[in-house]
A and B are shown apart, each in its own frame.
Chain A
Amino acid sequence: MLSLQHTRRNFLRSSVGLAGLTLPTFFKAQAASNTKHRKAKACIVIYTWGGMSHYESFDPKPEALVDIRGEFKPINTATPGIQFSEHIPLISKHSNKLAIVRSVHHNNGAHSGAVYLNLTGHRPEGQIKAKGRKNWPSITSVISHFHRPVAGIPNAIRMPYSMYDNGRQMAGESAGWLGAKYDPILMRTPAGEPYGGVSRYDDPALNLKLNLDKKRISERLTLLEQLDHSLGQRLGASTAYEKLDHYRQMAADMLLGSPVREAYDLEKEDHRIRDMYGDHIGGQSLLLARRLVEAGVPVVQAVCSAGDLAGGGGDNWDTHRNHFPKMKNRLLPVFDRAVSALLTDLEMRGMLDETLVVFLTDFGRTPKINANGGRDHHPGVYSLAFAGGGINGGQIYGASDRNGIEPASGACTPADIHATVFKAMGINQNAELHDQLDRPFRICDGKPLPIA
C-alpha cells in the first residue's frame, strides 16, 4: 500500500520501476555482459519509408541478368571487397563505419504490416491501429524506457511527420502498451526543401509553438501545478491523466530553456554544417537528430521520404513506377548526402562511438522490373545497416542469393535486428516489460547478430 504522502509522480516512477528493470539491475546486466565494445548511449533510427530497394543501395547484383540487376552499376567502397550501388558515392566512403545486413527477411508484403514489423520487431496481430494501446511499442519507445533522459528532456523524438499510406496512418510508431509516457514526440523539422509529394502534419503535437514567451509559460505552469495538485489527488495515476501530464510536462520543459529547445533552432548551427547535410528536409532532419542527441535525447527517429505514399506518387521509396529515375534524381541524392554528413559529423564531434545509427525500411523490392519501370514489394530479402556505438564497421553480415530473391546465408528477421540494437545499447533483449495492466512481455524474440 502506497502512502498517501507519495506524490503522484513518484508513484508513477516507482510503479514503472517495479514493472520493468530498475536502474541498478540494468547496470548489473551491463557489467555482466563481458564485451570489449563500448555500448551506445543514444540511438538515431533512419527510416526509409516505402521500402528501399536493396539492389539500388547496399546489395547490387551485377552478375544477375539485366532485367533483374537494373540500370545502376556497383561501385567500390572504402572497404576492400564491399560494393554498394553507384548512386550512394558519399555513403560508400563511410563503409568502414557501416555494418550492412543483406539477409533480413519477413513475410509481410503490405506497408502497414511491414512498417509495424520493422519498428516493433513483432508481427502484427489482427487489425492494428495507428494509436492502438494494444500494439507492441516502437523500438524508440523501448530504448527510451531503458535509457532515461535527464529531467526536462523528452524520452524520444520522431520527425518530420508520421507515416501514412494513402491517408491511413501506420501503426508501429508509438509506444503501444508501454503507455503514452513513452510515445515518441513528433516534431516538424523546421528547415529544408520538403520531399515532393504528400506529407501530413495533422498531429496536434506538431502544433507546439516553440517561441511562446517564457513569462506567460511560467505563469501558466504555476496554474497547472495547482491543477496538478487537486487533480492528482482525485484521479490518481489514471492513464488519461498520465498522458496529459506527459505532454504538458514535455511542452513546458521544451519551452523553458531546455537544451532541446536550443537544439531545435537550426539557425544556431554553423551554416556550413547545414550545407553539408543539404538544404533538404531529409538532411536537416538528420542534422536535427544529431543536435537532439547532443542535447540529451536518448533516441530519435527520422523518416527519410515523403510522409504519405499516396499510391506511389511523390518522393518516397515505394517505387512501383519510374524506379530508376526516381531513385537516381530524387531519393538517393538526399539520402546519400544526409547520411554521409551525419556519419562525418558524429565522428568528428566524438559522438559516433556512443551513438548507434540504425537504418530500417519496410522491405526490399522485387527482382523483376515491372511494366511501369518499377520494382514492387519484396519482403523475401532486403538490406539494413548499422553504424556507431556497439557496432563493428566495415563488414557485411549475411548474403542474398545470386538474384537478390532470398537469403543465401545468415537469414535473419526484424526481431534479430531489434535484438542487435538492444545489445548495442546495453539493453538485455530478454528483459520483460509490463503493459498498462501489469502483464509481462519479453521485449524481443530475436537473437543479436554477431556484428559487434
Chain B
Amino acid sequence: MIRFLLFLVSISNLALGQTVDQSAIESIKKNGGLVLPSPGGDNQWEIQFQLRGRNLNDAGLEDVAKLKNVIELNLRDTKITSDGLTHLKGLVKLTRLHLERTAIDDTGIAHLKGLTKLQYLNLYNTRITDKALEHLADLKNLQQLYLWQTDVTDLGIANLKKKLPSINIVKGIDLSTVIPVKKDEPKPEHNLNWLPEGGNEKPPEKSFTGEFTIIRFINKRNKPVKLFWIDYGGKPKLYGMINPKAERRQNTYEDAVWMVTDEKEMPLGYFVTGSEFARAIIPK
C-alpha cells in the first residue's frame, strides 16, 4: 500500500516536473529560443538563443534554469550580463556553454564554478581577464576553451594549463598582424601593335580562342572611342566606350581581335591579343 502511494507520489512528481518543463519551454520559445531534444537521453535539452533569441536578457534565463536537464546552451549575441549567469548555477549537467559575444565579465564566470560536467566553454569577444580563468580551475572535464578577443594573457593561460593539463585553449590570432594581400596584378609590360584602319598590316577577320589574358586599353585621343570585339564569326560586338585619356581593363583571350572606332562607329584601328598581359594604347 505504501509502495503504491509512493508510486502515486512519484507519478505526480513526474507529471508536475513535466508541467514545469513544458511551461518553461513555452517561455523559452516565446523569447525566440530553440529547444531541441539532446541526443542520448530523454528530457535532455539543447537550447539555442543565438539565432532568433538575441533579445534574451538576464530575466529570461530564469526559464532556462527551470529545466534541470540542459546539456547544451547557446547564448551567443544575446543581451545577458554577468548577473544573469547566476541562473545557470543549477544546470549541473551542462556540457557545452556558449557565452561568446556577450557583455559578461569576470564576475559572471564565478557563477560557473559548480558546472563540473562542462567540456566546452566559449568566451570569445567578451571582457574577461585572467581572473575569470581562476574560476575555471576546478572544471576537471573542461576540454575546449575559447578566448579569442578577450583580455586574457598568455600567463593566465599558462596558469590554467597547470591545473588542467589536457585542456585545449584557443586564443586565436591577433588581427593586427593580418597583412592584406598585395595586389600584384601582372604589370602590362609590352604594348600591343596598333593596326590602323587602312594601314598595310590587316588584322585577322575574326578572333580565335586561346588562353585567358587581360589587356589594358588606354585612350590617348581627345575624344571618346568605342570598343568592339570581333567574334569567332567575324562580327563586331560592342563592349563599351572609353573616355578621352581614360583606361579600361579588359578580360579576353589570346588571338582575339579588338576593333576601336570613333563615336560614330567608324573604325580607327585594331589590336590582336597575345598570350601575355599587355597595354593597348589608342594613339592620338
Which A residues are within 8 Å of any B CB, using their own CB?
Answer: 24, 27, 30-31, 150, 152-153, 196-197, 259, 270, 272-273, 275-276, 278-280, 295-296, 310-315, 321-322, 329, 333, 337, 344, 347-350, 353, 426
Contact = CB atoms under 8 A, between A and B. Distances in A.
Contact of A321 (B40, B172, B211): B211
Interface string B213-255: 0100000000000000000000000000000000000010100
A322 B211 contact: yes
A153 B178 contact: no
B48 to A, nearest CB: 8
Majority SS of interface residues in chain B?
Answer: loop
Contact of B51 (A197, A273, A295, A313): A295
A196 B214 contact: yes
Contact of A348 (B40, B51, B148, B179): B148
Interface in B138-180: 144, 146, 148, 170-173, 175-176, 178-180
A337 B124 contact: no
Contact of B148 (A196, A315, A349): A349
A292 to B, nearest CB: 12
Contacts of B209: 311, 313
A312 B171 CA distance: 43
A51 B187 CA distance: 29
What interface size band does chain B fall in?
20 to 34
B35 to A, nearest CB: 11
Contacts of A27: 37, 39
Contacts of B30: none
18 contacts: A27-B37, A30-B40, A150-B51, A150-B52, A196-B212, A196-B214, A272-B175, A273-B175, A279-B180, A295-B51, A333-B181, A348-B146, A348-B171, A349-B100, A349-B148, A350-B120, A350-B146, A350-B170
The 9 closest A-B pairs by CB, nearest first: A348-B172, A272-B175, A350-B146, A313-B212, A350-B122, A275-B180, A348-B148, A314-B212, A31-B40
Contact of B253 (A259, A313, A426): A313
B78 to A, nearest CB: 13
B188 interface: no
A315 B183 CA distance: 16
A272 B40 CA distance: 41
Contacts of A270: 175
B39 A30 contact: yes
B166 to A, nearest CB: 14
Contacts of A295: 51
Given A27-B37, A348-B146, A348-B148, A259 B51 contact: yes
B212 A197 contact: yes
A344 B173 CA distance: 8
Interface in B19-73: 34, 37, 39-41, 51-52
Contact of A278 (B39, B144, B170, B181): B181
Contacts of B37: 24, 27
B210 interface: yes
A272 B41 CA distance: 43
A296 B51 contact: yes
Given A349-B146, A349-B148, A275 B178 contact: yes
B106 to A, nearest CB: 19
Contacts of B211: 312-313, 321-322
A295 B179 CA distance: 27
B98 interface: yes
A276 B40 CA distance: 39
